[in-house]
Copies of this chain bind each other. A is one copy, B any other.
Amino acid sequence: MREFVAARRGELLADLSEWVRIPSVSADPERSSDVQASAEWWAARLREAGFPTVEIWPTAGAPAVFAEWPSDDADAPTVVVYGHHDVQPVDPVELWESAPFEPFVRQGPHGEEIVGRGVIDDKGQVLYHVYGLAAHLATTGRTSPAVSLKLLVEGEEENGSPHFRQLLLDRRDRLGCDVVVVSDTGIFDRATPSVVVSMRGMVRARIDLTGPDGDLHSGQFGGAVPNPATVIARIVARLHDADGRVQLPGFYDKVVELTPQQRELVERLPFDEAAWLQTAQSRATYGEKGQTTLERIGARPTAEVNGIWGGYTGPGGKTIVPSEAHAHLSFRLVADQDPGDVGAQLEAFLGALRADGTIPDGIGLALTVDRPGVRPCSTPMDHPALGAVVRSMQKAFDTDEILFTREGGSGPEADLEELLGPVLFMGVLLPDDRIHAPNEKADVELLLKGAEAVAHLWADLGSTAV
């Protein structure tokens, strides 16, 4: 298996380079033909790989690519593999050491790496599935995979997947499966292969306050009318208590606390707080009392102010009572919180602040909650397919110890879980791969490990009752 994959190292890099040269930036309307070209490139590559069914699925935005290769085994489980072929914008382009869409391979401190936009997020992680499948077929001597494979590679993930849920609903009849395997995440670090077992959900909200109809002179009126900038500050200040707990009524009601065993698994991760702080470029950690940093990120919900503004924000000063003030908020959610609950909780929270005078008469309030939000998503720890993923990673990484991590971010995986079935994560992204940033890179050895793990996974899942 390893030899099979290693022998195709050059071919994989050539393929990846070709694909990365197509600048499929989904957030840039001027790149829409490139996103289309990227879908076509991937569809052609899948046909070349032998997939009997390959279709480009248009959406109201960018196209997804669907491919299917049924297993000849009657009782083989069906797996949907999820990834995306669009990439992040390249700004600030001046911080790239080379052209973002002219990938090249270089010797890095830990081995060869390939540099370019999308090499790991997510083209590299999608591409190794072709090599993993070929390895699976070659090493098992099969003519069809041991699982019925369905690949769904969307084209708008880096733009918030605005049409992905609708696509899943529209194509539900084609996407029936036993499990979903997501290839868009990573491992804890180079020395610690691991498997993601949860992602947080998210709800965004915005608060708009109005005070006087226009900015007022703070001499003529200051001290005698309510100031919306003061009130937005008081609202934000009340979002957490002194222990860092979110103060929306009922916010924690559905939070499933980690079991002692799950906490123990988190604690086994070789977390280096100093190194993490360096990555965060922060001088200190901060958060909910009684939780470690990894728990705060992966296993606890949050309320975060993403932006606050009101009044004069330029240089010097302007002695006004502002007419308006605003805040962008976002809430990260964990199992079993429901994003649909957060709007009502926010309304109750603000209603209480209105009642106690924190939001005084004379201040108008508008709350906008982005619906439906994103649900938290997690792999059931007792799901048999998780065992198969762990065993596959063990083989690919030559280790008995595969740890579990919890992602703080949120994504379309929640829709996959809700609409298709249990979600498993398998990915080889590294925390220092600079995704979404200049000089994105992929560790070439890890791309090969990804192909290996996938090859093991299909063989394993083919004989696992899921």
A280-B216, A293-B224 are known contacts. Are A206 and B317 too (CB-CB below 8 A)?
yes
Q: CB < 8 Å: which of B223, B301, B314, B436 contacts A287?
A: B223
Q: For the side of the interface on A, what is the size category?
A: 35 or more
Inside 8 A of A200's CB, which chain B residues have their CB?
A: 219
Once bound together, how far apart are the Cα atoms of A305 and B209, in whole Å? 14
SS class, residues of chain A in contact with chain B: loop
Decide yes or no whether A399 CB sits under 8 A from chain B: no
Decide yes or no whether A281 CB sits under 8 A from chain B: yes
Q: CB < 8 Å: which of B239, B309, B357, B370 contacts A309?
A: B309
- Interface positions, chain A 197-245, Cβ under 8 Å from B, are 200, 202, 204, 206, 211-214, 216-227, 229-230, 232-240, 242
Contact check, B222 vs A408: say whether CB atoms are below 8 A apart: yes
Q: Tell me how many chains of this kind the complex includes.
A: 2
Q: Which of A217, A309, A408 gathers most chain B CB within 10 Å?
A: A309
Binds B, one of A13-21, A122-130, A325-333: A325-333
Output the nearest chain B residue to A240 by Cβ-Cβ distance.
B230
A233-B237, A408-B219 are known contacts. Are A306 and B328 too (CB-CB below 8 A)?
no
Contact check, B223 vs A281: say whether CB atoms are below 8 A apart: no
Q: Which of A233, A240, A311, A370 gathers most chain B CB within 10 Å?
A: A233
Binds B, one of A262-270, A359-367, A417-425: A359-367
Contact check, A308 vs B306: say whether CB atoms are below 8 A apart: no
Contact check, B308 vs A233: say whether CB atoms are below 8 A apart: yes
Decide yes or no whether A296 CB sits under 8 A from chain B: yes
Contact check, A217 vs B409: say whether CB atoms are below 8 A apart: yes
Contact check, A219 vs B410: say whether CB atoms are below 8 A apart: yes
Inside 8 A of A220's CB, which chain B residues have their CB?
A: 297, 408-409
- Interface positions, chain A 118-144, Cβ under 8 Å from B, are none
6 examples of A-B residue contacts, CB within 8 angstroms: A206-B317, A212-B282, A219-B410, A221-B282, A224-B408, A237-B237
Enumerate chain A interface residues (CB-CB to B < 8 A): 200, 202, 204, 206, 211-214, 216-227, 229-230, 232-240, 242, 280-288, 293, 296-297, 300-302, 304-314, 317-322, 325-326, 328, 330, 332, 357, 360-362, 364, 370, 407-410, 436
